[in-house]
Each structure stands twice: as structure tokens, then as C-alpha cells.
Amino acid sequence: MWVLKLNVESAKQPFGSLAMKHNISVASYVLSHYKDKGDVYVTGTGFLFGDEKNKRAFIRDAKKQDWIINYEQSGDFVIGVLREPLFTEVFWHPKVIQISPIIIHPGEKKHVWSFASFERKLLEDVLEVAEKYLGAKVIKFRQEKVSNISFTKLLPDLTDLQKKAMGIAIKNGYYDYPKKVKMEKLAEIMGISYSTYQAHLKKAEGKILPEVYREL
């Protein structure tokens, strides 16, 4: 298949701008789309990561947006229907697949989109539109075998404290290489002891990592 990987400017997308405004991370995946009266309507799903107060502010703000048509939330899992400009239709062509979730980090001005198709021309159309309207830059565009496709799925049943501990770790670069922060600092940010924070994070990892490994 042909694979196209892009860096896209978050500020040029309504959802990306909203996530940056409220300093949260979002991992999202588009499930379907339809066109009606000159607009494209996208059904998407994903997870929110970040401080609880920031997520609450994000949700309040999201519900005020006229481009968010429907919105439903269960914990950190969200699903909704968004109205997008007609030019976005090329991104969701039935012969183009999204091969990994779109992940938006508040500290980064760009995020990554990954598409694949057996037809190069369709990805050329995606690239042309993304460059024109979203300030996109090519990371790679080549023919290769796709070895895996990552879908956003329901997380294992984490407690609120386990989710919070993992969200703080992700936000502050604990899983980056090299690590940007030590666990002692993460415990301080969460306002709990080191041993308690470590227990919450390790239990969260113990639930999530086996699920991820089974998807490999």
C-alpha cells in the first residue's frame, strides 16, 4: 500500500485549537463520515488526557461549539459528530484508511496524521488539501507493507486515580526517551506520596500494557 504520514498544524483545526486552549491531550480516531448540504459530518471517538479541571473546561467549551453536532462522554472516553468544511472529504474517502489515532499534545504545535491506500492518487489529493488548508508537512510518502493498524478502543477499567496518574505521566514526558521527568516529580504534581503514586501508575500500566501487547 501507499502510506502518507503528515505533520499537521493543530491551530488550523477547530478540535486541535480547543485541545491546545485547555491544555489537554486527545487521542482520536474517525469512524465514519457523510456529506450533507455542502458540509462533511464526521463521527469520531477517542480519549482525553490531562488535569481534571482542564478536561472539564474543555468539555464545557466543546458543548458551546456550533461545529460539534453531537457529543457523549463516559469518563475520559468521548464520541461525537463534528461538522467540517467540504475540503476535508478527501481525508475520509472510503478507499483511504486512517492507520493510527490522531494524537494532539498541548505542548506541541503540530500533530501526526497517518493514512494508507492502494491508490497513490487518493493520497496525493489528501496531501494537496492538507498542505493548502492545514499547513501540513510530509513526514513520509512511500509504498510499503502495512504491518499493523492502531484503533482507538475502550481502555481497561482503570480507577480515576490510575487514569490521573497515567495522564500526568504522559503529559509531563515520563514515557519519552530520554525521560523528561522523574516519578518523584510526578507524585509531587499529583499531590500524593511517591509510593502511592508509583502504585497507581504501575497498576494502570499493568492493565494497559497486556492489552497493547495483544494488539501487536
pLDDT tens digits, one per residue of 180-200:
899 999 999 999 999 999 999
Kindly state the percentage of the chain with pLDDT values over 90: 48
Question: Per-residue pLDDT for 152 more than 60?
Answer: no
Q: Are residues 193 and 86 in the same domain?
A: no
Residue 152 lies in a domain: no
**Domains identified in the chain, total number:** 2
Q: Where are the alpha helices (DSSP H) in the chain?
A: 14-21, 52-62, 120-134, 160-171, 183-190, 194-215
Q: Are residues 168 and 133 in the same domain?
A: no
Q: Are residues 131 and 169 in the same domain?
A: no
Residue 70 lies in a domain: yes
Residue 153 lies in a domain: no
Structural domain boundaries enclosing 61:
2-143
Hey, which residues does 81 pair with through a beta bridge?
Answer: 43, 70
Average pLDDT, integer, range 100-123: 87
Q: Are residues 164 and 137 in the same domain?
A: no
Question: Per-residue pLDDT for 75 more than 60?
Answer: yes
**Would you say the C-alpha torsion 156, 98, 55, 176 has a positive or negative sign?**
positive
Q: Write down the pLDDT at residue 50.
A: 78
Kindly state the percentage of the chain with pLDDT values over 70: 92
Q: Torsion angle of alpha carbons 32, 18, 70, 152, nearest 10°?
A: 40
Q: Write down the pLDDT at residue 27.
A: 83
pTM of the predicted structure, to 2 decimals: 0.71
Q: Are residues 99 and 185 in the same domain?
A: no
Q: Which residue, 114, 143, 172, sits at the end of a domain?
A: 143
Question: Which residue has 525521560 as its cell numbers?
Answer: 179
Q: Are residues 87 and 181 in the same domain?
A: no
Q: Which residue, 111, 143, 175, sits at the end of a domain?
A: 143
Residue 150 lies in a domain: no
Question: Per-residue pLDDT for 59 more than 60?
Answer: yes
Q: Write down the pLDDT at residue 215.
A: 46
Question: What cell was used for 158?
Answer: 482503570
Question: Which residue has 506520596 as its cell numbers?
Answer: 193
Q: Are residues 133 and 183 in the same domain?
A: no
Q: Are residues 168 and 115 in the same domain?
A: no
Q: Are residues 176 and 124 in the same domain?
A: no
CB atoms within 10 A of CB 59: 15
Q: Are residues 57 and 107 in the same domain?
A: yes
pLDDT band at 216 (very low <50, low <70, confident <90, very high): very low
Question: Per-residue pLDDT for 158 more than 80?
Answer: no
C-alpha dist (Å) from residue 99 to 113, 148, 151, 199: 9, 8, 8, 33
Q: Are residues 11 and 69 in the same domain?
A: yes
Q: Write down the pLDDT at residue 92.
A: 93
Question: What cell was used for 205?
Answer: 500500566
Q: Write down the pLDDT at residue 101.
A: 85
Residue 42 lies in a domain: yes
The DSSP 8-state label assigned to residue 13 in this structure reads S
- Residue 178 preceded by cis peptide, ω within 30: yes
Q: Which residue, 82, 109, 143, sits at the end of a domain?
A: 143
d(CA 133, CA 86): 11
